[in-house]
Amino acid sequence: MAVHILGIRHHGPGSARNVKAFLENVKPDIVLVEGPPEADAMLQWVGNEGLKPPVALLCYQPDAPQHSVFYPFADFSPEWQAILYARTHQIHVRFMDLPAGNQMLIEKQPPLPPEAPAEELATISEEAIAVEDIRRNPISYLAHAAGFTDSENWWEHTFEYRLNNDEVFDAVTEAMQALRENLPQKNERLEQLREAYMRRTIRQAEKEMFHTIAVICGAWHVPALKAKVSQKEDNELLKGLPKTKTECTWIPWTFNRLSFYSGYGAGINSPGWYNHVWHHPHDDGTLWLAGVAQLFRKQQMDTSVAHIIEAVRLAGSLAALRGLPKAGLEELNEATLTVLCNGESILLKLVHEELIVGNQIGEVPTDIPKPPLQLDIEKHQKKLRLPATADFKDYTLDLRKDTDLERSVFLHRLHLLGIHWGKPQHTSGKGTFKEQWRLQWDPGFSVEIVERGNLGNTVAEAAGNSVLNSGRAATDLKAVSRLLEQAIPAELPDSIDELIERLNNLAAASADVMELMEVIPNLIIVARYGNVRKTDAAMVQGIIGSMVTRICVSLPSACVAIDEDAANRLLELFYQLNDGLNLLQQTELIAQWQQVLHILVDNKNTSPVIGGYSTRLLHDSKELLTEELVQHFSYAMSSAAAPATAAAWLEGFLRGSGTLLLLDQNLWQLIDSWVSNLNEDAFMQVLPLLRRTFANFSAPERRKLGEKARSGGGNQQQALAGAGFDADRAKMGIPVIMELLGIKL
């Protein structure tokens, strides 16, 4: 009976190649792989043509799916190649790590103190190596001893790039043994339990009389699995462990999520590069740089064959100077930067994103056991031709087309579930029949799908229940109206009916006019948007009508005796409500609104800034004739009014645009006269208000107003005389011009 323990690096192409060669040579009876035993049933899918790496095992608690763990695999993962070998040769294969149901609970417990104090490191090396760095990554000690500053670089050149490593596993075992014996270790209980469980699994395989056992595990664990530890000690250590029920399934994974940058603990720097090394082990850099050139050409950058040849030569020369057997990624990147990028490092970022990390995504068979909600999502993705891709893809949807409308409904429903696969983008052009979405799949969505599974077995059911739960829990109008706005494009009729009823009840009970005004604009959008989507918005319009009536009744008293902050807040709501009602184009509601504006204008106790703005809104809607406007203006700006009050009224009137002052000479003269009659103290008092008012105008408006003031306030005779204009001489040319135009006097 022989037990072969192969120490590997997770997701290493060289390790994967060595494992595959070793298994083909030794031909074991059983393969034990570091992984969760609960997922043994999922190993039968490895080798299925529908299961294409990168993929991951997802283990989760059915009653609390947010507690989950992923076990990713790529083609170049040694564990994947070991499992694939076992499945291809029809021999036993098992996972042997501590069950995920134990690990999830143990990880929540506080860690044990370290076994060795930090000072002990001083006896190991005279080099300045941080203790915590070594504890986190002991391989860095070996890399430093070999003259490498980067442990990843050392491991790649030592193990991953070499093609003939007959004794590699013996070397790895010896190196890990030395590190574990000499370096200070973290006294991690979870790691001790995992290694005890692995030893137990190996003993169980021996009891079952397997003659040749191959064990595939992380290199760091090899010495612990070979250590002489009694079965009794391991049983005592594993006794009484907390455990929770888990379920497992396969999900698609991405190269991006295999990288360190995603936060994956066992991640690698360059999944795309490792994939290239796995599939093209003999490449001297030519194929890789040809891919870089192809990428640059897609970006409209001229890259010739000569560039590639020179870059390959440079990378090879760099490797030779550094005493390396072949050019690695670092040398190829330097050659790319020098030859293909002309020293522009920004282009190397493109290579990093597209090739070094990559955007490849795996595939999972449709008939694999999955939660019902995930099956429904995949069914819609296939039906609507919306593939899940690791790279983003933009879609412009025309809601007048049935397929695009279904796509929009599906994406809006996912949004309501908190699954933000698609993100709405700004669309150019007019009309509300277009939507722009950017879709990019993240493997983490699989956990969110499992979490939302308790809401329903289909996307429509789950989204509807999510909306109803949120609507019943909401206690303010704004939250309910926001939910209604989101539910309309998701086409959830039952949920929409209940939200409308809930909104109506809250509106009837609300005495806060500002709350009602805040909600109305969103409801108007809902009504208009519903019409575009062929949705009956009559009920929403009915609520809008009743709320506008309540606002018109309560608003006059709400605009009396309020401070400046409250008045400015009301001004913004005035603008939104007025704009919304004009958009809705309901004659009766517009008439009610204009009637209340007249009341506010005529009531002398109305906040002056609101009174001024109400006057402006009536003028813009042609409800005030020029004579009436001048009358209101004259009264507000008269000497009887306090300067601060007049300035506040003027600020409200000129809110948003100063073009009116450029066009109406009478209003200009009134303001000019008012400012001219202010004494110095009053002028200094209102100056900040005037500055704030004019600061809100556009730059061209301010420039033209300044020119008008400089030229005498629009008095043409004064302006022309000031410019040396001779009016009598100008009149002499009129008959000639009339004759040229063919006009007889």
What number is the average pLDDT over the span 178-193? 80
Q: What is the mean pLDDT of the chain?
A: 83
Read off the tokens for 318.
Answer: 């760099």
Is the pTM above the cut of 0.75? no
Over the stretch 369-413, which tens digit does the pLDDT of each residue have? 888 888 899 899 999 999 988 888 999 998 889 899 999 999 999
Could you tell me the sign of the dihedral formed by the alpha carbons of 512, 509, 530, 545, in that order?
A: negative
Question: Are 134 and 121 in contact, with CB atoms under 8 Å apart?
Answer: yes
For residue 159, what pLDDT band results from cuts at 50, 70 and 90?
A: confident
Q: 725 pLDDT exceeds 70? A: no
Which residues contact residue 333 at a Cβ distance below 8 angstroms, ignoring those fewer than 6 apart?
Answer: 348, 351, 356
> What size, in residues, is the chain?
745
Q: Identify the pLDDT of residue 153.
A: 81
Least confident of 2-16, 330-344, 481-495, 726-740: 726-740
Amino acid (one-letter) located at 239: K
For residue 504, what pLDDT band results from cuts at 50, 70 and 90?
A: confident
C-alpha 372/C-alpha 539 separation (Å) is 34
For residue 135, what pLDDT band results from cuts at 50, 70 and 90?
A: low
Over the stretch 276-299, which tens digit does the pLDDT of each residue have? 999 998 999 999 999 999 999 988
Q: 420 pLDDT exceeds 50? A: yes
Picking from 499, 503, 527, 528, the residue whose alpha carbon sits closest to that of residue 516 is 503
Picking from 334, 352, 311, 325, the residue whose alpha carbon sits closest to that of residue 156 is 325
Q: Identify the pLDDT of residue 121.
A: 41
Over the stretch 139-150, which tens digit does the pLDDT of each residue have? 888 888 888 887
What number is the average pLDDT over the span 518-545? 70
Q: Identify the pLDDT of residue 123.
A: 45
Report for 251-260, 436-445, 630-639, 705-714: range of highest mean pLDDT: 436-445
How far is CA 720 from each of CA 416, 424, 711, 725, rounded to the nearest angstrom?
65, 56, 9, 5
Q: Provide the CA 292 distance to its chain's centre, in angstroms.
A: 28
Q: Identify the pLDDT of residue 62.
A: 84
Over the stretch 598-654, which tens digit does the pLDDT of each residue have? 898 888 888 888 888 888 888 878 887 777 877 777 777 776 778 788 788 877 887
Picking from 390, 293, 440, the residue whose alpha carbon sits closest to that of residue 74 is 390
Q: Identify the pLDDT of residue 126.
A: 43
What number is the average pLDDT over the span 519-530? 74
Read off the tokens for 304.
Answer: 């010739």
C-alpha 142/C-alpha 126 separation (Å) is 14
Which residues contact residue 630 at a Cβ distance below 8 angstroms, ignoring those fewer than 6 apart?
Answer: 666, 667, 670
Q: Identify the pLDDT of residue 194.
A: 92
Question: Are 440 and 393 in contact, with CB atoms under 8 Å apart?
Answer: yes
Q: Identify the pLDDT of residue 637.
A: 73
C-alpha 407/C-alpha 414 separation (Å) is 11
Q: Identify the pLDDT of residue 530.
A: 57
Sheet holding 92-95, edge to edge: 2-8, 212-218, 30-33, 92-95
Which SS3 state, helix, strand or coil, does residue 2 take? strand
Q: 166 pLDDT exceeds 70? A: no
What dihedral do alpha carbons 469, 474, 477, 480 form, nearest 10°? -20
78 prior amide bond cis, ω within 30 = no
C-alpha 273/C-alpha 362 separation (Å) is 17
Over the stretch 441-490, which tens digit does the pLDDT of each residue have? 888 888 888 888 878 889 999 999 999 988 888 888 888 888 888 888 88
Q: Identify the pLDDT of residue 529.
A: 61
Residue found by looking up tokens 């309309």 in the block:
488
What number is the average pLDDT over the span 35-48? 93
What proportion of the chain, given as a percentage, has pLDDT over 90?
Answer: 29
Q: Identify the pLDDT of residue 668.
A: 76
Least confident of 44-48, 438-442, 702-706, 722-726: 722-726
Least confident of 24-28, 592-596, 641-645: 641-645
Over the stretch 649-700, which tens digit does the pLDDT of each residue have? 877 887 766 676 777 676 777 777 777 777 787 778 777 777 777 777 777 8
φ, ψ (nearest 5 deg) of residue 453: -60, -25
- H, E, C per residue of 416-481: HCCCCCEEEECCCCCCCCEEEEEECCCCCHHHHHHHHHHHCCCHHHHHHHHHHHHHHHCCCHHHHH
Picking from 240, 237, 211, the residue whose alpha carbon sits closest to that of residue 224 is 237
Q: Identify the pLDDT of residue 324.
A: 83
What proportion of the chain, given as a percentage, has pLDDT over 70?
Answer: 88
Q: Identify the pLDDT of residue 116.
A: 46
Over the stretch 50-88, which tens digit does the pLDDT of each residue have? 999 999 998 988 888 878 888 999 999 999 999 999 999
Amino acid (one-letter) located at 573: L
φ, ψ (nearest 5 deg) of residue 65: -60, -20
C-alpha 79/C-alpha 66 separation (Å) is 26
Q: Identify the pLDDT of residue 131.
A: 47
C-alpha 44/C-alpha 38 separation (Å) is 13
Q: Identify the pLDDT of residue 663.
A: 73
Give the CA radius of gyration of the chain. Answer: 38
How far is CA 272 from each of CA 288, 355, 361, 421, rounded to the nearest angstrom?
11, 5, 11, 23
How far is CA 90 from each of CA 46, 93, 96, rounded to the nearest angstrom?
12, 9, 19
Q: What is the DSSP letter of 355?
A: I
C-alpha 48/C-alpha 625 separation (Å) is 80
Q: Identify the pLDDT of residue 276.
A: 93
Which SS3 state, helix, strand or coil, does residue 264 take? coil
For residue 264, what pLDDT band results from cuts at 50, 70 and 90?
A: low
Per 3-state DSSP, the chain is made up of helix, strand and coil in percentages (nearest 5) of 60, 10, 30
